[in-house]
Structure 1
């Protein structure tokens, strides 16, 4: 049931829904809902209905609202919504209401700073004693200030001679992002095929794959000879263009179109796949990525991506169900 600020706006003569708004907060309070209702009034959008997707008493609150309005006014509503979300530490997403919104069949994820909290190449650099210099380059690459392939080769070269015995310890210390396990487990129960498309390294991606139960991995290969890292890149490098190409390849293999795909990432090298997917979500992303992506979650956990698919919290699961 809609809360009063939005219930009061229910259209007397509703049009067919054109968009859906998803409001996510920790918590989502009455004032925030009222402020959003004010935006709808200001921009002449109709409220057609809605429902709470979050459970009563949950630490997260999510309200899904069906809307109708003039598409020409959508950019202004979107800009105002982003401003409101930033001011109130909310996540507020506007999507076109269409049949595939609730029926994505393939989900692809960046790994570093998306499924795990770290940038693995920075952790390797720490083991090699060059963390500060490499982290600065990583940050610039993720903001889109420098070419990913060029920066990847330069950062990798600093790891030449690093003892490969340190890899297991680094892998063991990688922490999953809040909500990652619940998101992947729920997607699998819904029959969604899952994949990691990472500009990081397959050695670590396969460990994350095992921990989360993700179906497949496509990542850069870490070259090791005589027990030490060579510092050389192995082609093909998984950069932004390669991620988008892999998304298309996986979709075609599964008999799907890119419109069936959910993609989630945080860096500038993820923008091509976010743009390619039917639903591209920038997760706790760099400013340039948030500004360019159609949808963004900046404050909630990764599991709240499920709200954008219209999956109520009561249907979420934490344990992986085998296919």
Structure 2
């Protein structure tokens, strides 16, 4: 562009120490010129402000440039005014949200992820921090890359960098009410209920061995479940109360349910465990739906048999579809979370299947993996920040721990 020709637009970039009134002062100078605001971005890092404003260029654009520079000088800040033509219209094809979760999140991992996005022809349009404690979560707004190819490429890079990366298409589903379906053992809670029951029967080691083989997909789930349940024969039903009191809910589970219920989300738990435990757990956590196997109890004693059909791998997927229909959401709006081979059909049936601290076979098949020990990290994939969670909790009188001072 010729130095004397009139530009169509001006990009004004202001940087410096933040203070009250910076943004209003710049816009006061722009208002005097009667320009139209086309785009704006502002971020704050450690009290350092970066403000970018794209405006139409007035007839006397040099006068506006001088006014903006004078305002910046009075604020002790630095300003650049770039002349150009055209609006800042975004590319609409291949738009995705790429969420990166690390503990810690190192610069090398960010470099590698950004490199793979570039390899796909993608551009990072915007970056937002979702959380800085107890994990670091960053959300990248990416355009120009096919989400399916991007997901496959970033999954391999995430494993190499020991971080979690989720790729989701940028569409309205991320903002709408959704159904979240969770596995229970080793997902919603720590440990396996059947092993806790077996400990009271003196068969914990044997049951644990069978459970691990079943979760890796080496044994038929129904056959393995019936074999394990037979080892519980003769236990008094009061043991169920003792085991329930021993259950440790996964860190962040209550926060996740509490936060997303505020937004109208619905929750379901689908378990290969036992309804005598899961029904109580659902009531305790505020979960709307629950489905699990029912232990047969006769005269207050566990018989070692199961009542009715077994909730196996196919049964979990079937329950997910039934709950989605009851809630009134499409399967694309369902998020499923699990860790074992019997969760695979459920994860595949959902719009977003998340392998949570899962076996390798599950991580390879799921849409994404989360390997940090906090279940509420899931909310960062939905565009909800830690600051928003803590603000909502504070308004409800719930005190959350403060991050350590660095």
Same fold (TM over 0.5): yes
* 1:94 aligned residue: 167
Give the 5 Å matches for 1:133-212. Answer: 133-212=206-285
Q: 1:220 to 1:163 in 2, by over 3 A?
A: same
* 1:285 aligned residue: 358
Q: Does residue 68 in structure 1 map to residue 143 in structure 2?
A: yes
* 1:49 aligned residue: 126
* 2:387 aligned residue: 314
* 2:191 aligned residue: 118
Secondary structure of 1:271's partner?
helix
Instruction: Tell me how far 1:2 sits from its aligned partner.
Output: 10
* 1:274 aligned residue: 347
Larger radius of gyration: 2
Q: 1:23 to 1:148 in 2, by over 3 A?
A: same
Instruction: Tell me how far 1:137 sits from its aligned partner.
Output: 0.8
Larger RCO (CA within 8 A; separation ≥ 6): 1
Q: Paired residue for 1:132, among 205, 221, 227?
A: 205
Q: 1:300 to 1:166 in 2, by over 3 A?
A: closer
Secondary structure of 2:116's partner?
helix
C-alpha RMSD of the superposition: 2.3
* 1:15 aligned residue: 91
Q: Say how many residue pairs are matched.
A: 309
Higher normalized strand content (fraction of residues) = 2
Moved more, 120-129 or 23-32: 23-32
Q: Distance in 2 between matches of 1:78 and 1:262?
A: 17
* 2:28 aligned residue: none
Q: CA offsets per residue over residues 213-239 of structure 1, 9 Å max, x none?
A: 212221111111122111112112111
Q: Paired residue for 1:236, among 297, 309, 312?
A: 309
Instruction: Tell me how far 1:14 sits from its aligned partner.
Output: 4.9
Q: Distance in 2 between matches of 1:149 and 1:229?
A: 18
Q: 1:78 to 1:254 in 2, by over 3 A?
A: closer
Contact kept, 8 Å, 1:104 with 1:261, in 2: the verdict is no
Q: Does residue 32 in structure 1 map to residue 105 in structure 2?
A: no
Q: 1:104 to 1:283 in 2, by over 3 A?
A: farther
Specify every segment of 5 or more residues in structure 1 that has no aligned partner in the other structure, as ranges.
4-11
Q: Distance in 2 between matches of 1:223 and 1:252?
A: 29
Instruction: Tell me how far 1:198 sits from its aligned partner.
Output: 0.9
Q: CA offsets per residue over residues 175-204 of structure 1, 9 Å max, x none?
A: 011110101101110111111111111111
Secondary structure of 1:113's partner?
coil
Instruction: Tell me how far 1:206 sits from its aligned partner.
Output: 2.2
Q: Paired residue for 1:301, among 362, 366, 374?
A: 374
Secondary structure of 1:149's partner?
helix
Q: Which runs of 4+ in 1 moved over 6 A?
A: none
Contact kept, 8 Å, 1:106 with 1:261, in 2: the verdict is yes
Specify every segment of 5 or more residues in structure 2 that has no aligned partner in the other structure, as ranges.
1-42, 46-87, 397-406
Q: Distance in 1 between matches of 2:126 and 2:243?
A: 49
Q: 1:254 to 1:42 in 2, by over 3 A?
A: closer
Instruction: Tell me how far 1:21 sits from its aligned partner.
Output: 0.7
Instruction: Tell me how far 1:70 sits from its aligned partner.
Output: 4.3
* 2:399 aligned residue: none
Q: CA offsets per residue over residues 260-311 of structure 1, 9 Å max, x none?
A: 2121111111111111111211111111010001111112511011011111
Q: Distance in 1 between matches of 2:211 and 2:285?
A: 25
* 1:7 aligned residue: none
